[in-house]
């Protein structure tokens, strides 16, 4: 009888690329091979993982399927290739010592929230009872502690700690969950926390937790070192504590992020759906913006209806909640005004001393600073608003060749990006470069990325705006390196291109780019733009009508200025007779002074910005005459919408521009008729969506293009975005949504990268 084919053994080489190092991949392959009874080996390469197995034909496909379906949580397989290989006899399956094969860099894992198995171990492993730095190959710090590659303990900030015998044995045992877990440590050998205030200094964990519990219950607040930087912390249910914390932070009414003990507690305070729950529980543990219920301290959200919620992600968070009575603590970034989040113990002791009731640090250094990432779910799709911890430095794959391109980003919500082959690597969220310390952080991070990813730019892409510090940084690089080529990219083109890269779109599409501010090719300030664009070039098809922005940048902080500008343009000199809160609350002389600016065209640059139109409406309604943080006005306007209202205001298309004069007049009539602000806000939002749908349909009919991208800060507005995506889809248009990048200016660098990759040829 002939032997069945399935019994014949064959050798295979399996090459896996993607995020497969530092995430427990080799032990996983080892266990899987044992399970399947395969012999051979697995090896870490610079460009991924290589496996050689001797297997029956029928088994190999099942083996591959299991790799795909059971891969470690934080791993991310990009490709698997299987080839038949020379026959070789193996006695068993083993893990080979690593060899470097090329200059390719493998991916670096983002930081991973502590896993359930480690939480279990924290209560059962003798040497790790309550150990606040417990981790394994499936969890723990990664990007924040790594200095260079390959990922190895000596190249992380864990190099200062010598493993004890027990840890070392675990580290060396293939079947152990801590096999090659670089930050492995225990109560005998690892980092420790310490607590400092004017009277107490201790490294006793029990005492630290007791001090914290007592302090938080008494309404005190503390600075505490997190995974990527310091946080400021207090009871989220104690209004006095929260408002004192707000005073300490010196700025703004920006909402504070809140960490909840667990999902059950969180559900008492916020409305969540399944997608949001999954996102909250994911190993990335981002902040998720949720619709709040009523009970938290008012000062946490400061009148807004969203709450930025997250779940514990460090072992210490769990240990703390075990003791606390409160189910929710404010955990906001430890910095003052617009500075970057603090990471150094000394600086924290210096800055927070006498300002907080205690500083909790630990003696493992943070090398790469990361803020908590911020996300939101719209139409059941997770969107990233701030990309940092848990996401950085995970690359975005593209069909474009972005090799050796540096994109320096925008200015206000900055990140830069570097290109490695077909990978676009976005830096962590950096912040507002106009702040001195933030710009220092930017430069430092660029140098660290260059070293970490062995990156040297040949092309640098920057914004058209010559005053952006990022553009000036590009010019400096140009002076240092005469061979460097520079590509200048229009801001809104970059916004659209970023989402195109994220979706691997490389063709002519319709781009709707609405945001606060971006320099246009005509030297005016753009921000309400309809583009017909590909990655190489764009045509400005239509835009919001130009309106003076009296006082320039000042208008972005004082929405009453845009309110007046829009009103003046709609009503002329009759404006002063309008019964609006603006004219009661703002001094007459201030109003006449900006009227003069507009009349004389002095310090009143023209803008087509959507963000400024939202500002104007909040100013007209008297909701927000002054802003204390970026995008406050549109956030407040959106948050007052309550009822389902489908009506909208009129607007006009005049040549290639869109005029809102009629909208403004009708809003004033509604105010005069004592319609509620909530209703007016809803009608205004509907108007914006009506403009988009009408215009996009018109462009689609004229050009035959059916693909649409919406990008720019305005599309962080859930009301606008959820409705417009649905409405456009109903018109048989295909809307592309960003999955891995923010639609705000943090994503600009990715758009610049895409455009530069096209322009270089």
Query: What are the catalytic residues?
Result: 26, 44
Stretch that binds Zn ion, among 103-111, 139-147, 203-211, 443-451 (CB under 5 A): 139-147
Closest distance between Zn ion and the C-beta of residue 24, in Å? 9
Q: Which is nearer to Zn ion, 122 or 563 (CB)?
A: 122
745 binds, among Fe ion, Zn ion, none (CB under 5 to 8 A by kind): Fe ion
411 binds, among Fe ion, Zn ion, none (CB under 5 to 8 A by kind): none
Site string for Zn ion, 601-630 (x = CB under 5 A): ------------------------------
> Which residue in the shown chain puts its C-beta closest to Fe ion?
515
| CA atoms within a 13 Å half-sphere pointing along the CA-CB vector of 87 | 4
670 binds, among Fe ion, Zn ion, none (CB under 5 to 8 A by kind): none
What gap in Å lies between CA 755 and CA 434, rounded to an integer?
25
Closest distance between Fe ion and the C-beta of residue 385, in Å? 13
189 binds, among Fe ion, Zn ion, none (CB under 5 to 8 A by kind): Zn ion
Q: What share of the chain is helix, strand, coil (3-state, %, to 5)?
A: 40, 20, 40
Closest distance between Fe ion and the C-beta of residue 518, in Å? 5
What one-character DSSP code corresponds to residue 256? P
The pair of structure tokens assigned to 543 is 């835009």
Q: Which is nearer to Fe ion, 515 or 725 (CB)?
A: 515
Q: Which is nearer to Zn ion, 164 or 693 (CB)?
A: 164
Q: Does 118 bind Zn ion (CB under 5 A)?
A: yes
- Interface of this chain with Fe ion, residues 736 to 755, rule: CB under 5 A: 745
Helix 718-730 vs helix 632-639: crossing angle, to nearest 10: 70
Closest distance between Fe ion and the C-beta of residue 472, in Å? 18
Closest distance between Zn ion and the C-beta of residue 75, in Å? 14
Closest distance between Zn ion and the C-beta of residue 660, in Å? 54
515 binds, among Zn ion, Fe ion, none (CB under 5 to 8 A by kind): Fe ion
Residue 706 φ then ψ, to 5° = -115, -5
115 binds, among Zn ion, Fe ion, none (CB under 5 to 8 A by kind): Zn ion
Stretch that binds Zn ion, among 159-167, 373-381, 385-393, 644-652 (CB under 5 A): 159-167
268 binds, among Fe ion, Zn ion, none (CB under 5 to 8 A by kind): none
Residue with tokens 């002074």: 593
Neighbours of 158 (CB within 10 A): 25
Q: Does 164 bind Zn ion (CB under 5 A)?
A: yes
Element (H, E) at 657: strand 657-659
Q: Which is nearer to Fe ion, 107 or 745 (CB)?
A: 745
What gap in Å lies between CA 528 and CA 653, rounded to an integer?
13
Residue 138's contacts (CB-CB under 8 Å, 6 or more residues apart) are 23, 24, 72, 73, 74, 112, 115, 117, 118, 177
What gap in Å lies between CA 724 and CA 99, rounded to an integer?
52
Site string for Zn ion, 501-540 (x = CB under 5 A): ----------------------------------------
Q: Which is nearer to Zn ion, 313 or 429 (CB)?
A: 313
Residue 756's contacts (CB-CB under 8 Å, 6 or more residues apart) are 402, 405, 407, 459, 460, 461, 487, 489
User: Among 123, 188, 596, 675, which residue interacts with Zn ion (rule: CB under 5 A)?
Assistant: 188
Beta strands in 215-305 (DSSP E): 222-225, 230-235, 257-260, 270-271, 287-292
Element (H, E) at 12: strand 9-19
Q: Which is nearer to Zn ion, 139 or 360 (CB)?
A: 139
Q: Which is nearer to Fe ion, 518 or 528 (CB)?
A: 518
Counting every residue written for the chain, the total comes to 761
- Interface of this chain with Fe ion, residues 174 to 203, rule: CB under 5 A: none
Size of the site for Zn ion (CB under 5 A): 10
Stretch that binds Zn ion, among 110-118, 198-206, 360-368, 485-493 (CB under 5 A): 110-118
Stretch that binds Fe ion, among 23-31, 139-147, 202-210, 513-521 (CB under 5 A): 513-521
- Interface of this chain with Fe ion, residues 518 to 537, rule: CB under 5 A: 518
Size of the site for Fe ion (CB under 5 A): 3
**Nearest to residue 668, comparing CAs of 560, 536, 746, 578?**
578
Neighbours of 337 (CB within 10 A): 11
55 binds, among Fe ion, Zn ion, none (CB under 5 to 8 A by kind): none
Closest distance between Fe ion and the C-beta of residue 387, in Å? 15
Report CA dihedral (625, 626, 627, 632) to the nearest 10 degrees: -10
What gap in Å lies between CA 697 and CA 12, rounded to an integer?
53
Stretch that binds Fe ion, among 58-66, 241-249, 516-524, 553-561 (CB under 5 A): 516-524
User: Among 20, 32, 67, 136, which residue interacts with Zn ion (rule: CB under 5 A)?
Assistant: 136
Site string for Zn ion, 59-98 (x = CB under 5 A): ----------------------------------------
Q: Which is nearer to Zn ion, 226 or 395 (CB)?
A: 226
**Nearest to residue 663, comparing CAs of 637, 686, 641?**
686
User: Among 121, 515, 558, 615, which residue interacts with Fe ion (rule: CB under 5 A)?
Assistant: 515
Stretch that binds Fe ion, among 55-63, 373-381, 515-523, 749-757 (CB under 5 A): 515-523
User: Among 20, 122, 139, 532, which residue interacts with Zn ion (rule: CB under 5 A)?
Assistant: 139
Q: Which is nearer to Fe ion, 50 or 464 (CB)?
A: 464
Number of helical (H) and strand (E) elements in the chain, helices listed first? 24, 32
Cα first-last separation, the chain:
63
What gap in Å lies between CA 423 and CA 435, rounded to an integer?
30
For the purposes of burial, counting CB atoms within 10 Å of the CB of 3, is it exposed (0-12), middle (13-18) or buried (19 or more)?
A: exposed
Q: Which is nearer to Fe ion, 408 or 668 (CB)?
A: 408
What gap in Å lies between CA 634 and CA 285, rounded to an integer?
27
The pair of structure tokens assigned to 415 is 């990140």
186 binds, among Fe ion, Zn ion, none (CB under 5 to 8 A by kind): Zn ion
Residue 273's contacts (CB-CB under 8 Å, 6 or more residues apart) are 377, 380
Angle formed at CA 712 by CA 686 and CA 304, multiple of 5 degrees: 60
Neighbours of 432 (CB within 10 A): 18
Q: Does 632 bind Fe ion (CB under 5 A)?
A: no
Q: Is 332 helix (H, G, I), strand (E, B) or coil?
A: strand
Q: Which is nearer to Fe ion, 667 or 741 (CB)?
A: 741
Q: Does 189 bind Zn ion (CB under 5 A)?
A: yes
| CA atoms within a 13 Å half-sphere pointing along the CA-CB vector of 535 | 28
Residue 592's contacts (CB-CB under 8 Å, 6 or more residues apart) are none
What gap in Å lies between CA 134 and CA 140, rounded to an integer?
8
Q: Which is nearer to Zn ion, 174 or 727 (CB)?
A: 174
Closest distance between Zn ion and the C-beta of residue 27, in Å? 12
Q: Which residues pair with 509 in a beta bridge?
A: 533
Q: Which residues bind Fe ion (CB under 5 A)?
A: 515, 518, 745
Which residues contact Zn ion (rule: CB under 5 A)? 115, 118, 136, 138-139, 164, 167, 186, 188-189
């Amino acid at each position: 009888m002939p032997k069945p084919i399935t019994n014949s053994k064959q050798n295979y080489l399996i090459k896996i690329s993607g995020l497969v190092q530092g995430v427990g991949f080799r032990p996983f392959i080892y266990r899987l091979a044992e399970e399947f009874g395969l012999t051979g080996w697995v090896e870490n390469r610079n460009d991924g993982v290589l496996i050689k197995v001797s297997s029956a034909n029928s088994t190999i496909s099942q083996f591959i399927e299991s790799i795909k379906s059971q891969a470690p949580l934080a791993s991310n397989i990009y490709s698997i290739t299987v080839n038949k290989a020379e026959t070789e006899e193996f006695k068993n399956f083993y893990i080979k010592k690593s060899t470097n094969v090329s200059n390719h860099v493998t991916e670096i894992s983002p930081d991973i929230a502590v896993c359930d198995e480690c939480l279990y171990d924290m209560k059962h492993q003798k040497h790790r009872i309550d150990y606040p730095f417990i981790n394994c190959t499936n969890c723990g710090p990664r990007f924040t502690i790594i200095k260079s590659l390959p990922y190895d303990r000596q190249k992380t900030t864990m190099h200062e700690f010598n493993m004890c015998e027990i840890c070392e044995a675990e580290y060396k045992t293939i079947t152990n969950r801590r096999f090659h877990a670089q930050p492995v440590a225990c109560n005998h050998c690892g980092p420790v926390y310490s607590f400092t205030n004017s009277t107490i200094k201790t490294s006793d964990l029990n005492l630290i937790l007791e001090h914290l519990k007592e302090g938080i219950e008494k309404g005190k607040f503390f600075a505490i070192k997190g995974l990527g930087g310091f946080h400021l912390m207090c009871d989220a249910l104690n209004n006095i504590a929260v408002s004192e914390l707000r005073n300490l932070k010196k700025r703004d009414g920006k909402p504070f992020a809140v960490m909840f003990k667990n999902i059950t507690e969180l559900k008492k305070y916020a409305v969540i759906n399944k997608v949001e729950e999954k996102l909250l529980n994911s190993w990335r543990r981002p902040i998720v913006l949720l619709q709040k219920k009523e009970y938290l301290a008012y000062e946490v959200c400061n009148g807004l209806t969203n709450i930025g919620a997250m779940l514990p992600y460090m072992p210490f968070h769990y240990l703390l909640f075990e003791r606390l009575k409160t189910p929710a603590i404010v955990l906001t970034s430890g910095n003052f005004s617009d500075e970057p989040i603090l990471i150094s113990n000394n600086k924290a002791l210096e800055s927070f001393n006498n300002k907080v009731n205690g500083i909790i640090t630990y003696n493992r250094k943070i090398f790469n600073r990361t803020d908590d990432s911020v996300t939101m779910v719209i139409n059941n799709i997770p969107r990233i608003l701030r990309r940092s911890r848990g996401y950085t430095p995970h690359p975005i794959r593209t069909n474009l060749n972005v090799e050796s391109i540096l994109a320096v980003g925008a200015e206000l919500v900055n990140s830069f990006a570097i290109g490695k082959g077909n990978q676009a690597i976005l830096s962590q969220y950096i912040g507002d470069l106009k702040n001195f310390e933030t710009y220092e952080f930017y430069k430092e991070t660029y140098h660290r990325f260059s070293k970490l990813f062995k990156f040297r730019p040949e092309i640098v892409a920057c914004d058209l705006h010559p005053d952006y510090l990022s553009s000036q940084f590009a010019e400096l690089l140009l002076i240092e390196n005469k061979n460097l080529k520079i590509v200048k990219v229009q801001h809104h083109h970059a916004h659209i291109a970023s989402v195109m890269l994220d979706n691997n779109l490389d063709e002519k599409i319709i781009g709707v780019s609405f945001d606060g501010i971006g320099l246009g090719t005509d030297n005016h300030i753009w921000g309400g733009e309809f583009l017909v664009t590909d990655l190489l070039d764009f045509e400005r098809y239509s835009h919001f009508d130009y309106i003076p922005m009296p006082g320039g940048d000042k208008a972005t902080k004082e929405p009453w200025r845009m309110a007046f500008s829009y009103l003046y343009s709609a009503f002329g000199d009759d404006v002063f007779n309008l019964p609006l809160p603006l004219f009661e609350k703002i001094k007459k002389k201030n109003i006449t002074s900006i009227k003069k600016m507009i009349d004389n065209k002095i310090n009143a640059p023209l803008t087509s910005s959507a963000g400024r139109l939202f500002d104007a409406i909040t100013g007209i309604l008297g909701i927000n005459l002054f802003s204390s943080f970026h995008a406050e006005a549109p956030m407040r306007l959106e948050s007052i919408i309550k009822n389902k209202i489908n009506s909208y205001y009129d607007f006009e298309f005049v040549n290639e521009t869109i005029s809102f004069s009629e909208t403004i007049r009708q809003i004033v009539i509604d105010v005069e008729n004592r319609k509620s602000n909530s209703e007016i806000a809803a009608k205004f939002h509907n108007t914006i969506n009506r403009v988009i749908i009408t215009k996009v349909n018109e462009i689609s009919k004229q050009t035959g293009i059916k693909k649409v991208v919406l990008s720019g800060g305005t599309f962080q507005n859930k009301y606008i975005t959820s409705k417009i995506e649905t409405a456009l889809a109903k018109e048989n248009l295909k809307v592309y949504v960003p999955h891995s990048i923010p639609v705000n200016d943090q994503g600009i660098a990715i758009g610049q990268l895409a455009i530069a990759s096209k322009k270089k040829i």
